[in-house]
Amino acid sequence: MTRNSVLNVRHRELGCTLDGETWNGMPIPWSYHTDVNDEVVAVRTRAGLYDVSGLNIVNVSGPAALKILDKLVTIDVTKLEPGTSRLAGEVNEEGALVDDIMVICDDKEHYRLSHGSGATQQTLAELAKGEDVTVEQDYDVHILSLQGPRSIDILDPELDFDLAQLPYFKHINTTLFGRDVVIARGGYSGERGYEVYCSAADAVYLWDMILEKGQPFGAIPASWDSLDLTRVEAALLFFPFDMPEGDTTPWEVNMDWCVDLDKPGDYIGKDAVLKLKGRERFKQIGLECMTNQAVEIGAKLLIDGKEVGVITSAIYSQYLMKSIAMAHIKPQYSQLGTAVTIDSDKPVKANIVKMPFYDPMRMRTHPK
């Protein structure tokens, strides 16, 4: 099914043709007439406004909502309190990752799932059979993501609560510029940021008002090309692109945090994924590449002429003045400082470095 953001009218005014690759059935504003690197600078130093309505939002409600969600994911959903959310692992019977997913708890019988392009909805439909639960994709909701250090200065004066007190992965029902919204703290940029969930009817108005109020703080619209730059700088994974094997486990991509080892409840693939811990075929690593351009995604990593890994995401970061990449490599070669060669027409030297590349202690998103 083809979906369209009501904000497409604004994206076209900003120079986007919306004729590039779609995501989750929705045309995406990959680029504007502005320079993508200027957009990154805005997000890193001021604020950038993204339309991330391409995410799938699924409402799961009813007496059995908690029961089926706890069977779906690797985290203990019973511990989620209203107003909180968590990123989770979702695996198949073989213990392999099958989607990006965030579980959002509104109350113990009403949840929202934010997920990518994987198997979530097909699996949910099977789990819901015969259960007292309603599973419906929300085709009306739009998500405006304001990312950057000045995001709080732009939104806080317009709210009836202290936005600084809203913790990471928490959300609240409120009004913004007189419209009903849900505001959540989070994002995909490696910066302080907030996501505004609103109705389609209010999305254009809220987009315009956020940019109007943000203009004195240097806020600008930001394209998805800049979002990809910031997420790689922050070493944030994108399913399925950073899991190209098709049977990648959480342990192989440093997602240990998304599997609750002490979860008492059963879930799809529980036995398999727990048995695979410690049996990683490769590890997720970061690379600094000795070139002034992005290396090729899918390029092989070589040590002494032997293939040892593959590039999964790669950019040239003008903000960091580095060519950086995320890759999978055999565990015995994953130590920091290891030198590799990236196989291409002109082979590129690279070294394994600590991730994230930007803000390595994640102080921007989790300030002490």
Closest Cα partner for 301 from 341, 260, 257?
341
Provide CB contacts within 8 A for 206, sequence distance 6+. Answer: 144, 176, 177, 179, 181, 196, 198
Q: Which candidate, 164, 158, 153, places its Cα nearest to that of 217?
A: 153
Looking at residue 2, its pLDDT comes to 80
Q: Which fold has domain 7-53+141-233?
A: Gyrase A; domain 2 (3.30.1360)
3-state secondary structure (DSSP) of residue 331? helix
238-277 tens-digit pLDDT: 999 999 999 999 999 999 999 999 999 999 999 999 999 9
> Fold identical between 7-53+141-233 and 282-355?
no
Starting at the earlier edge strand, list the strands of the sheet with 110-115.
84-88, 101-107, 110-115, 56-61, 134-137
Query: CA–CA separation, 218 vs 148, rounded Å?
Result: 10
Q: What's residue 1's pLDDT?
A: 60
Region of 210 please: left (phi>0), alpha (psi -120 to 50) or beta. alpha
Instruction: State the amino acid at position 286 in one-letter form.
Output: G
Backbone angles phi, psi at 50, to 5 degrees: -110, 145
- Other Cβ atoms within 10 Å of 149 Cβ, number: 16
Let me know: does 195 contact 143? Beta carbons within 8 Å: yes
Three-class SS of residue 276? helix
CATH classification of 282-355, choosing from 3.20.20.190, 3.40.228.10, 2.40.30.110, 2.40.340.10?
A: 2.40.30.110
* Dihedral class, residue 164 (left if φ above 0, else alpha if ψ from -120 to 50, else beta): alpha
Which residue blocks in the chain are alpha helix, DSSP H?
A: 8-13, 36-45, 65-72, 120-128, 151-155, 200-214, 224-233, 270-276
Q: What is the pLDDT of residue 310?
A: 98
The C-alpha angle 275, 279, 282, rounded to 5 degrees, equals 135
| Burial of 319 (C-beta count, 10 Å sphere; 0-12/13-18/19+) | middle
pLDDT less than 70: residues of the chain: 1, 368
> Dihedral of CA 17/20/25/30: which sign?
negative
pTM above 0.85, yes or no: yes
- Between β-strands 101-107 and 110-115, what pairing exists: parallel, antiparallel or unpaired? antiparallel
Domain ranges in the chain are: 7-53+141-233, 282-355
Mean pLDDT of the chain: 97
Kindly list the distances between the CA atom of residue 212 and the CA atoms of 49, 177, 189, in Å, as whole numbers in the listed order.
Answer: 11, 12, 22
Q: What is residue 91's DSSP assignment?
A: B
Report d(CA 335, CA 305) in Å as an integer: 18
Task: Please name the residue that has the structure tokens 């997000």.
Answer: 43
Tokens of 303: 């040590």
